[in-house]
Amino acid sequence: MLLLFISLGTTGYWIGVNLEPMVMNTNTKDVENHLDSIHNGLESSKWKTFSSSELNKYFGCKQLFKTPRPIITEKNWMYFRDLYNKHAAFRYDKDVSYKFTNETYVSPVKTVLTKDKGRGLIASRDIQKGELIFTGTNNTIVFETGHAWRSFLWYLYHASVPDYPEGFACDIKSWSWVQESLPNGKGGPVIVVDIDESSLLNQPSRNNGEVANIQCGKGENCGVNYYAKMDIKKGDEILCRYSGCSEATWDDFGL
C-alpha cells in the first residue's frame, strides 16, 4: 500500500490519499459484517452493545498496555486522521460525530518518551503563566452518542495501520473523555478525543512530587482551552489533572 501525504506548511492542514487498496477492506459496513466469531470471550455479533469495559476486553487493551507504546510520528497522526475521515464518509448519521472546528492551533509542545510515564509532552519553548497551550481544533473529534464512538473504535480495530504496531483502537479509547458540554452551542454531554499530540498529555505523579502546570479553562468553565497555571521552562513536562476536564460519566452514554 502506498500513501501520499501532502502537508501545507505549519498550518496543520493535511491531505491523505490512498493510492492502492488497503490490505483489508475497512469499509465500515464490511467491518460490521465480520461478526461470526468469539474473541477474548466476547461474541463479535454483539459488538453494538459492548460497554466501555467490554470494548477494553475485546480489544485486549490491558495486555497491550503492559508494554511501552511507541512514539507517534506526524505521518502516523495524519494517517490516523485520514482513518476518521474514511469512517465518517461511510456513516449516514454524520450529525452525531463531527470535528469541533475547522480551525488549527500550533501548541508549544513536543512529544517525548518520559522516564516513568511512557509517551508524554514537554514544552518546546519557555511558556508564560496564562498562555494558551491547547484548544479545540480540526483534530478534535466529538461524538454525541455512545454508539457513534463505539463504531469508530470498532472500525479502527479492524483497520490496517502501516508503520504502527497494533492497538490504535486502544489508544483512542484511552485518550477519549466525557465532557458535560462544549462551547460550540451544541450542548452535551459528549465524548471527545483529540487525534493529535495533545492526547499524550500526562497527569502529575504524586510519588515524584509533581504538580499540574496547566489547567482546563479559567475559573469554573472548562470548555476546550487549556492554559499554563505557572511559568513553564523549555523541556519541562506538560502535566494536567484529568479530573479538571471530565465532568460527565460513561454511564450517560450507555457505556
In a domain, 155, yes or no: yes
Confidence of residue 185 (pLDDT cuts 50, 70, 90): low
Euclidean distance between CA atoms 146 and 169, whole angstroms: 15
Tell me what pLDDT residue 179 has: 84
In a domain, 58, yes or no: yes
In a domain, 73, yes or no: yes
Tens digits of per-residue pLDDT, 50-84?
Answer: 999 999 999 999 999 998 888 898 999 999 999 99
- What is the mean pLDDT of the segment spanning 135-155? 93
In a domain, 115, yes or no: yes
Tens digits of per-residue pLDDT, 101-112?
Answer: 999 999 999 999
In a domain, 194, yes or no: yes
Q: What percent of the chain has pLDDT over 90?
A: 47
Number of domains in the chain: 1
Quick check: pTM over 0.85?
no
Residue 2, pLDDT > 70, answer: no
In a domain, 11, yes or no: no
| CATH number for position 248 | 2.170.270.10
In a domain, 6, yes or no: no
Q: Which three cell numbers stand for residue 182?
A: 462544549
In a domain, 8, yes or no: no
Confidence of residue 148 (pLDDT cuts 50, 70, 90): very high
pLDDT, averaged across the chain: 81
Give the domain range for residue 233.
Answer: 25-253
Confidence of residue 160 (pLDDT cuts 50, 70, 90): confident
Confidence of residue 26 (pLDDT cuts 50, 70, 90): very low
